[in-house]
Structure 1
Amino acid sequence: MTNQATTTTEHDGTVSGRPDVRDVIPGAGPALRPGERATLRLRDDGEDEPARYAPEWLQLREPADAAARSYDLLDPLRIRLANLPRRADGFVIHDIGCGTGSMGRWLAPRLDGAQHWVLHDRDPYLLHFAAVASPRSAADGSHVTVETRRGDVARLTPEALSGASLVTASALLDVLDREEIEALAAACAGAGCTALLTLSVAGRVELTEPHPLDREIMEAFNAHQRRGGMLGPDAVDVAAEVFAEHGATVRINPSPWRLGPADASLTEQWLRGWVGAAVEERPGLASRAEGYLASRLEACAAGKLRVVVHHSDLLALCRPADGDA
């Protein structure tokens, strides 16, 4: 996930040369604890734990996410859905870690046929936002309905996905460990439903103009992504392997953010979180990273900075539960 960390570390200005991340929207900056994602509890550590993902960050990134998602995966997805037995209530689509519901707003109007979306998230406020802002019609005008479920990925089982046509998620795979990806793949395969898992961080970033510190920051950020056993930029390859072991046909397509002057607000937040996570992982970078961040933010404000943040989308076509192709 791009800057998938869950809360910002509080600073009074710049401490020990670390970049000032006071202005980072929660969700865009470094995490305090391994194994956490703001909109989806990965480990059961209490239902009263406060939410960590500001809807402002999700809303800020939504246009870039929509532009990045791979359209080339839609045709094989449509073909698979068209070949499924028709249900009276249409396709059942589970959106895991739905946040504000951006995946549904992007995908539902691009699929024909009635759809019932089951929105999963740990944050009741985000669930409410996603339900209220969900689309109401499919590409062909068919009805789209939604329900919400508060929960986590560890509770997904074939039984929980019984009757599902599709499981979707955005920026999820890279904050899972191998065991969690295996559980997700087993649940999808057991239920015979396809999985469309988008916007997983790929570990590569390109900034214009290049800077000598770019690679070091990127490598530190990637190491931060792998903390606590999470797979980070290795997640898509692992997921492809695991889904294939469960008999799925897997396709992977690039889905990069391409940020320019029109995306300055998002780029600023992304930069602060990217550099902040790198410094959290490697504190020795702090003194150099402070000047690096300042110069990059200056270029961003001047409309001179362009950034490509590479992601990958994965489509896993699992065998239908009834054994039909």
Structure 2
Amino acid sequence: MGPVERPAPGVGDGPDADRADRRAEWSEGGAGHRAGRGSGEPARGSAAPDGRASIRPLGGGRTAGRRGGHGRSSAERATVRLREAPDREHPDDPPRYAPQWLRLREPADAEARAHELLEPLRIGLADLPGRADGLVVHDVGCGTGSMGRWLAPRLDGAQHWVLHDRDPYLLHFAAVAAPRAAADGSRVTVETRRGDLARLTPDALTGAALVTASALLDVLTAEEVGTLAAACAVAGCPALLTLSVAGRVELGPAHPLDAEITEAFNDHQRRTGMLGPDAVDAAAEAFAGHGATVRTHPSPWRLGPGEAGLTAQWLRGWVGAAVEQRPELGEQADRYLDERLATCAAGELRVVVHHTDLLALCRPAGGAP
């Protein structure tokens, strides 16, 4: 197991990214989760050490002239994009996503992840050949590494985490903040690999004991999910894929526009061939087609007054994506967001954002068919 690879500081999750950006991103996050998947980082050479990023509106705000009571136009607040413009000196660099958004959502993610899948995962890992030598875990689209911080201390034995992301800036955060000890005190080491999903081949997973990802499946196409399932099946390693959006949101108190915003957001999720809320069903079918045993379990965010900051950012991204998909929502979506943000600030809003976690236990490589 090698030492931590730490990219140099200052080098290198969003409703507006097109399919090509999505495939390049891989990073955890987004408003339910999509609000943060477009979170922007400063460009290489000028990256702020604390991950500060400016807030800018999505293009095409139809109601940009209307002012709300919070100091910015309602359209700007309704269509927040936490994403920097491309760096003029490095236009081909991957997009930057704000670590502060990923930090903001991390406690809710940790609370939501399906603890019920941990025991069958532990049993599956115990049956793998070579388990005594320790676990090699590949974290796909690791972002700032929240999955490793949650999972590594819940598994026994020595672990070596391979952190994959297109953004070297996020890889730096993930490596620095990675846990150092397993549940039983065994050593945890990490390395980083910059790359995209197309490079996650069976060869890349040779020796892997587990593949993990958080908030990834729903931004993939059916073909990409099939590629992921096939790679895990050939490598004979389980996959724990958490926090995929389920297409359902509950808000209390209820509002007449809730259902229409939800429907528009779900349509936005499915654009350009992405699976969106259909991702877990597609992944379950793909893994089962390779002989894996598949389990799923709900993993909802439950947001109340104690999560007001996260709720407000999620609302902006959620409504913004809905308006981007259906611009005709326009001013009524502005008013809706104003009312929801006010209710949130008053501590009176409750939100349940439904996700689903999936565990696929693939047959060990070389095992019985």
**TM-score clears 0.5:** yes
Contact 2:78 2:320 in 1 (8 A): no
Offset at 1:20? 1.8
Offset at 1:266? 0.2
Partner of 2:49: none
Indicate yes or no: 2:82 matched with 1:26.
Answer: yes
Partner of 1:82: 126
Partner of 2:283: 239
What CA deviation, in whole Å up to 9, does each residue of 1:180-210 have, x standing for no partner?
0000000000100000000000000000000
CA distance, structure 2, for counterparts of residue 171 and residue 305 of structure 1: 24
Report the 3-state secondary structure (helix = DSSP H, G, I; strand = E; otherwise coil) of the residue aligned with 1:309.
strand
Partner of 2:192: 148
Partner of 1:93: 137
Partner of 1:6: 38
Letter in 1 for 2:113: R
Report the 3-state secondary structure (helix = DSSP H, G, I; strand = E; otherwise coil) of the residue aligned with 1:94.
strand
Indicate yes or no: 2:261 matched with 1:217.
Answer: yes
Partner of 2:64: 15
Note the 1:41-190 alignment, pairs <5 A: 48-87=92-131, 89-190=133-234
CA distance, structure 2, for counterparts of residue 47 and residue 122 of structure 1: 14
Report the 3-state secondary structure (helix = DSSP H, G, I; strand = E; otherwise coil) of the residue aligned with 2:109.
helix
The farther-off stretch of 153-162 and 95-104 is 153-162
Offset at 1:82? 1.2
Structure 1 runs not aligned, ≥5 long: 33-45
Partner of 1:321: 365
Note the 1:164-313 alignment, pairs <5 A: 164-313=208-357
Offset at 1:122? 0.6
Letter in 2 for 1:57: W
Question: After TM superposition, where is structure 1 displaced by more than 6 Å over at least 4 residues in a row?
Answer: none
Contact 1:13 1:20 in 2 (8 A): no
What CA deviation, in whole Å up to 9, does each residue of 1:227-269 have, x standing for no partner?
1100000000000001000110000100000000000000000
Report the 3-state secondary structure (helix = DSSP H, G, I; strand = E; otherwise coil) of the residue aligned with 1:314.
strand
Report the 3-state secondary structure (helix = DSSP H, G, I; strand = E; otherwise coil) of the residue aligned with 1:20.
helix
Q: 1:63–1:25: structure 2 CA closer, same or farther, 3 Å change rule?
A: farther
Report the 3-state secondary structure (helix = DSSP H, G, I; strand = E; otherwise coil) of the residue aligned with 2:231.
helix
Offset at 1:88? 6.3
Offset at 1:47? 8.7
CA distance, structure 1, for counterparts of residue 293 and residue 363 of structure 2: 8
Offset at 1:22? 8.0
Letter in 2 for 1:236: V
Report the 3-state secondary structure (helix = DSSP H, G, I; strand = E; otherwise coil) of the residue aligned with 2:108.
helix
The farther-off stretch of 289-298 and 9-18 is 9-18
Q: 1:146–1:101: structure 2 CA closer, same or farther, 3 Å change rule?
A: same
Structure 2 runs not aligned, ≥5 long: 1-29, 40-55, 67-73
Report the 3-state secondary structure (helix = DSSP H, G, I; strand = E; otherwise coil) of the residue aligned with 1:220.
helix
Aligned residues: 309
Partner of 1:41: none
Letter in 2 for 1:15: A
Offset at 1:15? 1.6
CA distance, structure 2, for counterparts of residue 165 and residue 306 of structure 1: 39
Offset at 1:26? 2.1
CA distance, structure 1, for counterparts of residue 254 and residue 58 of structure 2: 30
Letter in 1 for 2:339: S
Offset at 1:157? 0.9
Contact 1:168 1:197 in 2 (8 A): yes
TM-score under structure 1 length normalisation: 0.90
Contact 2:291 2:362 in 1 (8 A): yes
TM-score under structure 2 length normalisation: 0.80
Letter in 1 for 2:77: V
